[in-house]
Structure 1
């Protein structure tokens, strides 16, 4: 068909016949040229997709070509009807030019095109005027065709114009909606101006964000674009100093660039730490959103980072971060940052070092709660890192540092270890992590305080119970030492807390001294009264420093009635211990006066505990005379039905007889 439509049939007919006017067969063959219109359509389609040309102007040219071709075809067909009609004067053109066949072809063509285009545009003047029946029939179909073509042209042109102004139209609609909102709610003029100014700046900033464009590209191209645009900025950020290029490239590839208008809150105070931001251009204010008013703490410039404290310390954001000018930011998901840090151990440690060293040297008010006072400046074991992380309560962060091989018992200039700091601040998860890594719970600081003392002094009872259970296993004088220390310091608050936790008030320290003996020797009346009223035994107390009459008055009050200030849960546990001790006096008569054997009991299988890193403390008990009683005691201690439990030793071997258990054995109860 392409070849047939390209053959010049009229020229061939003229060569063969020597006549210009040929018959109907030649005219029909000439109509094969309409087949080439398909090529014209394909040509315009290719131009529309060619990025070198404007789509708007190519589309306009295509619509214009369609219009001119339709006008040309209609004019030619209408003239053919007049030319073929037998009565020359009874045609549309014969009414104007009686001898139209004698006029030049140019005049006839112009006349036909003129009336055709005025009819198509329906201007109401110069329309084709049908004279005979054939012309009327043609005009009917021509006007119907004009209706469809006009609708097609108007629809396409409207779409082109509206698409170019759609964003502006949406902006104007939003402005109108905002104005109606202000009027409806009768907001003050100041708020109205702020709302409209913000929406105008937002409209300008949206044109700079290119999220949709980048998301359409393949991952490899996006990665190259991000590397070209963001890598020079990211590698200068303090957090990524001396970090490998591979990690930086993986982080950069997952960053998103955003333009934020002025006076917009990027991060709200106490917001969840979902994202970390790097400033590419502009300024961001650090704001403390207090109850009464806001306070600006500082301003961040190009190359600064914010949001990383909440992300790495796993806690809500400390402050509000608000843009001061039109600002371009790089946004990175917290999960993405953590995953990148875990990819390579060396880079993980380096990022943690950079983070903590930055806040160690920074003297900004925004990070004062991260600082630990009096830390040695040149600590080869990075004491500042462990101590700082322990103070923040980030157990996951602390775990990473300890896995890197840092000493969990490192101390600051006052002798405080990470366990001291975590216990005093109430960070229970950090305490468990430190215990998991075998920290020493008996270390004392320069004031002679252990982590156990710091926990009870700060009234963190759950931490105290964890530490006390472990300390009592290795030091049987733990309770006596704590009570005697509180008595020596005349610390009534701590003594009250210790008694509430169920410690035996008559416990002795390693020197065989009780708290009541120390209080009376130091003549501490208030402390003696507290101890006496809580049931301290004064039968074996012999001291001349304390007034006998005062002691008698206290004992008389105690005889009238007093209430021991002991925590109910802990009291029941210690009462059970006392009951077991009374029973054991009869049970262990067969040991001929030797000290009753003691065993440590634990829940779960020993292999499972080691693999999963369990840090749940065991229980030190006196060994009963039967395996059934042992299971009963274990069930009461751990709160489960142990009658059907299996008892094993440290190697996992099952124990089915009480006689094979020795003093200081470790027993495990498997449900």
Structure 2
């Protein structure tokens, strides 16, 4: 037959390679016979190989697509089950009312059923569960989980309940591993931490040895000096030695700044409490002679805090005199009220709100400062210039006339 002719042909080597290609293609495609016949010419051999390769390609493509669909379906199902399992572990690990637990589970079950693998739900962290909840449920969870602890935090003792409610929703959970470090000495911490479960130790290193200076139990605050004053940490913080770890609530600085825009007075309440607590601790250690001239890092902390507080207050004074210069009386009143500023406080150049209001000719602001707030009309800046002199220099005749009458 045709096979014998190929083998016995003069160009036997090429023919044998062609025949080998034919049988290899036949083996790969498992369809060597077309209509029960073998090819009888070179054109039929070429066509047969081409047909078998096309058949093999289409078969592989269809099989691959079907396998992909099946695998994706299984993957989506596994992902959905892992998400729901994570939510279940979240609600079981917290003291939530049964009604709230069922509502949270129902929320995620409906989300998975309606949107499937496109939910974007959760990777590995149970903390993401809260972020995926509607705001109303976030408030309910925070009220049950973190609100009671926040109320016991010393630096927030005098804050309004509405502020603490809002702050509780912003708290994120963080888990500390066994002997893990939260931060180390000389680092600046951008977050405020509240111990929820377990305990953390503050340690200092001296001559290669580690010494525990204090232990923070649930309700303790960590990182307040860096958070409010931008100071470097004087000690390292880690999970308590030989403990299973600790759980914390974390307040990010960005979230806090957005919150205090709604509650501007509360930031000052917390800052004053931080200052007071650290001053009390320093005084107590001095009284018991725990501090000496060679070991006075707490005194340095106190001085740094006072300098930072003075700088922050000076910035509020700048805001006050700027509002006076702009003639914005409502803003001027708001800044003074929110930050407890007195009318005669001056900026870096010794200028008071009265100086700036007089120089810019804002009669209504000047009359309020002098008539209502009893501002000192004779106060002078670092150049010895009074508000009246400012008004005369800038030809603000109405203001000058008013000040002369006072």
Q: Into which bin does the TM-score normalised by the smaller protein fall?
A: 0.3 to 0.5
Higher RCO (Cα < 8 Å, 6 or more apart): 2
TM-score of the superposition, structure 2-length normalised?
Answer: 0.47
